[in-house]
Amino acid sequence: MGLECGNNKASSGNPEDKSLSAPPPPPEHSLYHQMFKRTPKMVIIFAVVALSCLVLYHSSFTFPFSRDYNSFSFGTRLASSDINLNELKIILKKATMSNNTVIITTLNDAWAEPNSMFDLLLESFRVGNQTKRFLKHLVVVTLDQKAYTRCLKLHPHCYNLRTDGTDFSEEAYFMAPDYLKMMWRRIDFLRSVLDLGYSFVFTDADIMWFRDPFPQFHKDADFQIACDYFNGNPSDLQNLPNGGFNYVKSNKKTIQFYKFWYNSRLTFPSLHDQDVFNKIKFSPFITNVGLQIRFLDTGYFGGFCQPSKDLNKVCTMHANCCVGLENKVHDLGIMLSDWRKYQKSRVNQTSTQGSTGSWTVPQLCRGSFHRPRAPKKKEGQGRKS
C-alpha cells in the first residue's frame, strides 16, 4: 500500500513537470512497473514460504540421537498411512486379553503354505502346556494375499497388511532387500498397534510356544526382548537381543521409542531392525524418554543359538542362528517331536524329581549360514523356498 501511495503523489505534481512531457516508457518498463505495483503481495507470500521452509529445515535435520529428536524428521514418512485402522481396531478388540494385550505374528505366503511355518506355530500352541488358550488372542498379520487367504481358513484373527508396489510372498533371504523391507514394515506396524492403545507380545512364526510366558516377564519393564545370547543380567545392555520375540506395553515411552527405532533405519541404511536396535539401545534418547528395557533369560526363552536346557521351565524356543525355510521347518518339526516325548515321559514318570528333558536339535540348522542356498523353485514346481 505504501508503494502505491508514493506513485500517486508523483503523478499529481506540477503540470509543467518534465516527466509529463517525457516519451512513453518502453514495453519492458511497463511490465516492470506492473510487477513493482504487485510487490507488496509478492513479498508477503515469499516471506511466509521462506519462514515455513526455515522451520521445516531446522526440525528435519535434528540429529536422531539428540535430546530434541523429532520422530517425524525429513524423509521419514511412516508407512502406516496405508493401514486400514478401522479393520485393525476390530481385529485387535476381538483378540485382546483383559489387560488390552494381544499376541502378534507375521506371515508371508512361503511361511503360510501347508506343512510350513504357520502350521508348526499353531501346533505348538495346541501341544504346549496350557498354551492353547492363547490362540484366541493371536493376531496373524499377513504380508500378501495368498497368506491372508490361507490364514482365514485356519485362524479367526487375520489382518492383511498391504504394501503398495512390494511382493512379500516369496521367502525373503536373510539381509536381502526384501527381507529388510519386511522387517521395517513390521516395526512400523507394531508402532501403530501401540498407538491404538494395545500392548503386545510379538512372536516370530518360527518360535514354538510351550508354556505361558507372562509369569516370566519383568513387571517394571516397558520393553522386554528375547536374546540370542543372554549373560545373566536382564538389565545389561551388553546382552545380544533377538527381535523375534518381545513384550511391549503401550505407553508414551514405547510409542516414541518405536518411532525412533523405525526412523533410525535412515541412519543405519544397511542394517536390519535387530542390528539397529543394538546400536540405539545405548542412545541418550532411551534415557531421556525413561524407557525401561529388560532382556529375557534364554533359560525360559531359548533358541538354537543358546537353547533352554530345562524342558521343565522352557516357555518358548526359537529357530534362530539358522537360515533357510526348509532347514527351520525340518528342525522345528523335530523340536515338537522332542516336546511330545518329554510330555509323555512326564505322564509315565514315577520319580518326584523328574528329568529335565533334552532337545535333539539343531540338526539342519547347524551350519546353515555356511552352506550354499538352494535355488528357488520355479512356478509350478512346489512350495517356494
Nearest to 140 by CA among 108, 172, 179: 108
With a cut of 60, say whether residue 288 has pLDDT above it: yes
What pLDDT is stored for residue 376 in this prediction?
Answer: 54
Question: Which helix (H) or strand (E) element contains residue 325?
Answer: helix 325-347
| Sheet containing 138-142, strands listed edge to edge, beginning at the edge strand earlier in sequence | 158-160, 138-142, 101-107, 199-203, 240-248, 223-229, 293-295
Residues in Cβ contact with 161 at an 8 Å cutoff, skipping those fewer than 6 apart: 83, 106, 141, 142, 143, 185, 189
Cα separation values, 52 from 57, 76, 133, 354, Å:
9, 18, 54, 71
pTM: 0.75
Mean pLDDT, rounded, for 216-231: 98
Which residue would you say has higher pLDDT here, 215 or 356?
215
For the ranges 74-83, 210-219, 333-342, 352-361, the lowest mean pLDDT is seen at: 74-83
Which residue would you say has higher pLDDT here, 30 or 348?
348
Average model confidence (pLDDT) across the chain: 80
Dig out the grid coordinates for 377 from the structure: 523353485
What pLDDT is stored for residue 6 in this prediction?
Answer: 37
For the ranges 61-65, 174-178, 322-326, 354-358, the lowest mean pLDDT is seen at: 61-65
- HSE-CB at 346 with a 13 A cutoff on CA atoms is 12
Cα gap 208→120, rounded to integer Å: 8
DSSP letter assigned to residue 348 = S
Q: Which domains does the chain have, with CATH numbers?
A: 85-303 (3.90.550), 322-348+357-368 (no CATH)
pLDDT digits (tens, 9 = 90+) for 344-385: 998 887 654 667 789 999 999 999 998 887 655 444 333 333
Q: With beta carbons less than 8 A apart as the criterion, state whether 223 and 257 touch.
A: yes
- List alpha helices for 224-324, DSSP H: 252-263, 273-280, 284-289
pLDDT category at 83 given cuts 50, 70, 90 is confident
What pLDDT is stored for residue 163 in this prediction?
Answer: 63
Cα separation values, 107 from 92, 112, 143, 149, 315, Å:
17, 6, 6, 11, 22
What pLDDT is stored for residue 298 in this prediction?
Answer: 98
What pLDDT is stored for residue 381 in this prediction?
Answer: 35
What pLDDT is stored for residue 173 in this prediction?
Answer: 42
pLDDT category at 40 given cuts 50, 70, 90 is low
Mean pLDDT, rounded, for 76-80: 41
pLDDT digits (tens, 9 = 90+) for 84-119: 899 999 999 999 999 999 999 999 999 999 999 999
Cα gap 42→230, rounded to integer Å: 64
**Helices and strands (H, E) in the chain, number of each type:** 12, 10
What pLDDT is stored for residue 184 in this prediction?
Answer: 84
Cα gap 307→295, rounded to integer Å: 16
Which among 4-18, 50-64, 107-121, 153-167 has the top mean pLDDT?
Answer: 107-121
pLDDT digits (tens, 9 = 90+) for 155-208: 999 999 976 555 444 444 444 556 677 788 899 999 999 999 999 999 999 999
Cα gap 40→2, rounded to integer Å: 9
